[in-house]
Amino acid sequence: MENRLVRAFLVLLLGGVIIGMGGASTAWAAKQGDPIIVGAPVPRASAYGQNGERGMILAAEQINAAGGVNVGGVMRPLKLEIIDDRDEEPGVPTSEVLLAIEKLILQKKSDVIVGGPCMSECGMAAMDLYARYKTVDIVSIGCYTPSWDQKVAKNPEKYRYSFRESGSVKWYIKEALDLLAKIKKEHGFNKMFISIDDSLMCRKAAGIVEKLATKGGWEIVGSDKHPIGTTDYSVALNDCKKSGAQVLFIWAYSPESSILLKQWADMEVPALPIGFIGAAEDPGFWKATNGKGAYTIVTLSETGNVPTDATPLAKPFYEAFEKRWGVPPRSTGCVSAYEALYVLKDAIERAGTLDKDALIAAIEKTNLPSVRGTIRFDENHQIIYGYDPKTSVLGCWVQWQDGQRVCIFPEVAATGTIQMPPWLKK
């Protein structure tokens, strides 16, 4: 009799446990919400677009693997809806780019837009689209024009839906000038030759650098403006050699800039190449130049694109990116697009909702430790760059040394110092 009572008790207990487990499972399942749709316009034919797409996919996979985004107690996964907006392809009109974004808003029912367009003209036009549809967007690949935050400043109520988490050319020029000041102080250089692609953006940006560098004590001893696609730079490099320049400042995004730097090494031009050089950003640059790109200094725009201990999350990001894609992070877009999804997650969880007004208010109050430093936005919704990772995000200037991209500026992120080519030491 006693044994029967014990068995009955155990059966009841096990049943209770199973029921309890079933109840818990049901409750857990009930808290799994629908996906949050994240529309992502990306120019897939461009390197920056590819950078950003990889960064966003990596972040979405990590967030979803950790359970998703907590929206008022309901865990919801992120669903990326990526569309090729083709905004960096020659001949693609802005109207076509806007149609792609409109498709993300109206057909894909995106809750928020993250990513491109990369081209400033398209990014500026898209702001009006977001205002019309009251869609929150976080620009996180390219679109560096200073006109972007000026547009927000002129009509903050209309453009309150737009945030720019990528960089601004205003900051990048300041960073370049600060690096030049450091080189001037440490090496006694004061003569510069400027070489640029003949494009509107390069002409304008290089003009600003020339003006401000002159104020900083640099003498501009010569310049060159070559058509995009040029394959022989020997005349300009010979002029540079004769000019007495100690720095060759380059602003060129064409792939042919690798030829420029190979010729620079072959001719042993005694001026250190520094600048915004598209070809030199790529991890394959060393192989493409047979090592002749050594000593080139180039900006990768975002801390985290090379190993550094500047922030606790920089190295884990670098390693996760390399493991996921089989290649190191390249440059612009890899880090900023990755971080954009974490900015979104953080803001949604603080707001507890996807309501537009609540989400905007939450993004405005972002104070998020991340890969580049601490993400905050100014009053015009522009991410704040600086030199202190506790209050801002950091850029990344590297020099090619022994086949590696070594961070040499800003100093808080540096893992090496500037080296000079042997023919410049003579």
pLDDT tens digit string along 26-70? 344 446 799 999 999 999 988 899 999 999 999 999 999 999 999
Q: For residue 11, what pLDDT is reported? A: 39
Report how far residue 290's alpha carbon sits from residue 270's, in angstroms, rounded to the nearest whole number: 20
pTM: 0.89
pLDDT-derived band at 227 (thresholds 50, 70, 90) equals confident
Residue 228 confidence class, pLDDT cut points 50, 70, 90: confident
Rg (CA), the chain: 25
Cβ contacts of 180-189, under 8 Å, gap ≥ 24: 180/213, 180/216, 180/218, 180/247, 180/249, 180/274, 181/216, 182/409, 183/247, 183/272, 183/274, 183/418, 184/216, 184/217, 184/218, 186/418, 187/246, 187/418, 187/420, 189/246, 189/247, 189/272
Do you know the residue count of the chain? 426
Q: Given this model, what pLDDT does residue 203 score?
A: 82
- Is pLDDT of 302 > 50? yes
Local confidence band at 425 (pLDDT 50, 70, 90 cut-offs): low
* Confidence (pLDDT) at 31: 63
Which DSSP letter does residue 224 get?
Answer: E
Predicted confidence band of residue 207 (pLDDT cuts 50, 70, 90): confident
Closest Cα partner for 372 from 291, 315, 296, 287?
A: 315
Residue 122 backbone zone (phi > 0: left; psi -120 to 50: alpha; other: beta): alpha
Helix (H, G, I), strand (E, B) or coil at 410: coil
Judged by average pLDDT, the poorest of 53-62, 89-98, 195-204, 216-225 is 195-204
Q: How confident is the model at residue 198 (pLDDT cuts 50, 70, 90)?
A: confident
- What percent of the chain has pLDDT above 90? 79
Q: How far apart are CA 296 and CA 403, in angstroms?
A: 11
The DSSP letter of residue 218 is: -
Write the DSSP string, 121-185. Answer: HHHHHHHHHHHHHT--EEE-S----THHHHHHHH-TTTTTTEEE-S--HHHHHHHHHHHHHHHHH
What pLDDT does 426 receive?
53
pLDDT at 358 > cutoff 60: yes
pLDDT tens, position by position, 413-422: 999 999 999 9
Of the chain, the percentage scoring pLDDT greater than 70 comes to 92
Residue 164: is its pLDDT beyond 70? yes
| ω into 410 cis (within 30 of 0) | yes
Residue of 228 and 412 predicted with greater confidence: 412
pLDDT at 16: 40
pLDDT at 292 over 70: yes
- Give the pLDDT mean for 265-278: 95
For residue 227, say if its preceding peptide bond is cis, omega within 30 degrees of 0.
no
**Rounded Cα gap, residues 358 and 361, in angstroms:** 5
Contact between 374 and 392 under an 8 Å Cβ cutoff? The reply is: yes
The average confidence (pLDDT) of the chain is 90
| Residue 393 DSSP symbol | B
C-alpha angle 389-390-396 in degrees, rounded to nearest 5: 5
Instruction: Compute the distance between CA of residue 325 and CA of residue 308 in angstroms, rounded to an integer.
Output: 19
Tell me if 409 sits within 8 A of 300, measured CB to CB: no
198 contacts 228 by C-beta, under 8 angstroms: yes
DSSP 232-263: --HHHHHHHHHHT-SEEEEEE-STTHHHHHHH
